[in-house]
Amino acid sequence: MTQIRTGHFEADGAEVDLPLGFVPSHIKLVNANAADGEPIVIEWWSEAGDGVELWYLRHDNDGDGDNDTPIWKSTGGYVSEYDEKSVLETDPASVEDDYVKVIGGKGVTIAAAFMDNGDEIYFEAILADRDVDHGDINA
């Protein structure tokens, strides 16, 4: 079943584990506060792998001819899969009732290098109904 999540968060300057409830097939991240030369938009596909993504750089309209340029990052990207689940059990001697708490989640991890403290980050994440790898078409 296809799922789409959209949202926003304000960065705190640290790496972010963005919980979505699923590892997306595709996510688009927009840093509304990106500075000149920084990625303003990143697109990541899970099938491409961790750190492999498309960057659109921000360039000031200062007449020097620079434009927002797509760059395919085959290594060193800022987005990776986040799929962690762990169980936290309380010490029965320290609480009245025993309980188990499941923590973690699924989504993406966004490197701190993509955002500064206070940056406004918007996202659209899609879990495709079918994610097809056609392999080598000419094979």
Collect contacts of 67-74 with beta carbons under 8 A, ≥24 apart: 68/40, 68/41
In a domain, 135, yes or no: no
Q: Is 0.85 surpassed by the pTM of this model? A: no
Q: Which domain holds residue 85?
A: 3-127
In a domain, 136, yes or no: no
Of residues 83 and 88, more confidence is placed in 83
In a domain, 133, yes or no: no
Task: Express as a percent the part of the chain with pLDDT over 70.
Answer: 81
In a domain, 116, yes or no: yes
pLDDT of 111 higher than 90? yes
Q: Are strands 26-31 and 53-57 parallel, antiparallel or unpaired?
A: unpaired
Q: Average per-residue pLDDT in the chain?
A: 87
Q: Which are the contacts of 57, defined by CB distance < 8 A and separation ≥ 6?
A: 37, 38, 39, 40, 68, 69, 71
**Number of domains the chain contains:** 1
Contact predicate 129/93, CB 8 Å: no
Of residues 64 and 19, more confidence is placed in 19
Count CA atoms within 13 Å of residue 89 on its CB side: 3
